[in-house]
Amino acid sequence: EIVLTQSPATLSLSPGERATLSCRASQSVSDYLAWYQQKPGQAPRLLIYDASKRATDIPARFSGSGSGTDFTLTISSLEPEDSAVYYCQQRSNWQVITFGQGTRVEIK
């Protein structure tokens, strides 16, 4: 099973700042990686898939990059509504789809 390790655990930034979230895979997943946003009490929402493609209706301030084992989700200019937990997910080994443990983004 491929393990995804996300860092940092928590990120505390001010509105307008740039947020950089990391996801590292225990073995190569090519570009088969997605990012989700989960706000308190809500279901997750797909932000990025195939490492860098934005899902439908996702604002352009969200971008993804990386391949192989190291991936990044960047929020270029934080908005108050971006306060959430962000999860990465891989599907390279389709028999076991796995998620990271999440990064909490707090807006000061």
Partner 1 sequence: QITLKESGPTLVKPTQTLMLTCTFSGFSFTTSGVGVGWIRQPPGKALEWLALIYWNNDKRYRPSLKRRLTITKDTSKNQVVLTMTNMGPVDTATYYCAQDYGDYGNNWFDPWGQGILVTVSS
State the residues that interact with partner 1 by CB under 8 A: 34, 36, 43-46, 49, 55, 87, 89, 91, 94-102
Q: How far is the CB of 15 from partner 1 (least distance, A)?
A: 26
Which among 63, 56, 107 has a CA at the least distance from the CA of 84?
107
Q: What are phi and psi of 43, to 5 degrees?
A: -75, 155
* Nearest CB to partner 1, comparing residues 18 and 39: 39
Give the nearer residue to partner 1 in terms of CB position, either 14 or 95.
95
CB of 68 to partner 1, least distance (A): 18
User: What distance separates the 2 farthest-apart alpha carbons in the chain?
Assistant: 40
